[in-house]
Structure 1
Amino acid sequence: MLNRRQFNRQLLGAIMSYSLLDSLFATNAIPAKLAPLTEHWAKDLQEICQDLRLNSITPDVWQDHVENLFQKIELKELLQFIDFERLIKGMTFPDLGVATKPVVFPRLEGLPARTVFTKKIFGMKKGRAIIPHGHSNMASAHLVLKGDFHMRHYEKVGELDGHLLLRPTIDRIADAGSSSSISDERDNVHWFVANSETAFTFDVIMLDLKGKPYDIQNVDIQAGEPQPDGTIRAKILDVETALKKYGKQHH
Structure 2
Amino acid sequence: MNRRVFTEKSLKAAMSYGLVSSLIQTQAIGKHILPITNHWSIELNDFCHDLRKSTIGVMEWQQKVEDLFDKVPLQDLLNFIDFDQLIRGFNYPDLGVNTKKVTFPKLDGLPERTAFVKKIFGMKKDRAIIPHGHANMSSAHLVLKGGMRLRHYDNLRVEDNTMLIKPTIDKTIAAGESSSISDEKDNVHWFIAETETAFTFDVIMLDLDDKPYDIYNLDIQAKEDPNNGSFRVPILDVDAALKKYGKESHH
TM-score band, normalised by the shorter chain?
A: 0.7 to 0.9
Q: Is this contact kept in 2: 1:119–1:205, CA < 8 A?
A: yes
Q: Contact conserved, 1:34 with 1:77, CA < 8 A, in 2?
A: no
Identical columns (%):
60
Equivalent runs, 1:202-221 vs 2, <5 Å: 202-221=201-220
Q: 2:34 aligns with which of 31, 36, 47?
A: 36
Separation in 2, partners of 1:35, 1:188 = 38
Query: Residue 156 of structure 1 aligns with which residue?
Result: 155
Paired residue secondary structure (2:119): strand
**Structure 2, unaligned runs of 5 or more:** 1-30
Deviations 1:114-144 (A, max 9, x none): 0010001000000000000000000000000
TM-score, scaled relative to structure 2: 0.85
Alignment correspondent of 1:222? 221
Aligned letter for 1:95? D
* Contact residue 37 and residue 73 of structure 1 kept, 8 A: no
- 1:134–1:34 Cα change, 3 Å: farther
Q: Which residue of 1 aligns with 2:236?
A: 237
Which residue identity lines up with residue 37 of structure 1 in the other structure?
Answer: P
Counterpart residue identity of residue 144, structure 1: V
Q: Deviations over 1:52-71 (max 9, x none)?
A: 00011110100000001101
Deviation at 1:161, TM superposition (A): 1.2
Per-residue CA distance 1:136-158 (angstroms, 9 max, x = gap): 00000000000000000000011
> 1:79 matched to which residue of 2?
78
| Paired position in structure 2 for 1:185 | 184
Q: How many residues align?
A: 219
What is the alpha-carbon distance in structure 2 between the residues aligned to residue 122 and residue 203 of structure 1? 7
- CA 1:42–1:158 in 2, change beyond 3 Å: closer, same or farther? same
Q: Matched residues in 1 for 2:116 and 2:33: separation?
A: 21
> Structure 1: how far apart are the matches of 2:114 and 2:240?
34
2:187 partner letter: N
* Counterpart residue type for residue 217 of structure 2: N
**Amino acid aligned to 2:211:** K
Greater C-alpha radius of gyration? 2
- 2:133 equivalent in structure 1: 134
Q: CA deviation at 1:36?
A: 2.9
Residue ranges of structure 1 left out of the alignment (5+ in a row): 1-32
Structure 2: how far apart are the matches of 1:41 and 1:76? 13
Question: Are 1:49 and 2:48 counterparts?
Answer: yes
**3-state SS of paired residue (2:222):** strand
What is the rounded CA distance, in whole Å, between the counterparts of 1:178 and 1:226 in structure 2?
Answer: 33
Residue in 2 aligned with 1:196? 195
Aligned mates of 1:34, 1:81 — CA distance in 2: 15
Task: Indicate the RMSD between aligned Cα atoms, in angstroms.
Answer: 1.2
Q: Is the contact between residue 125 and residue 196 of structure 1 (CA under 8 Å) also seen in structure 2?
A: yes
1:36 to 1:214, Cα distance in 2 relative to 1, 3 A: same
Cα drift, residue 37 of structure 1: 2.2
TM-score (norm 1): 0.85
Inter-partner Cα distance in structure 2 for 1:64 and 1:84: 25
Residue 235 of structure 1, CA deviation: 0.2
Partner in structure 1 of residue 167 of structure 2: 168
| Aligned position for 1:61 | 60
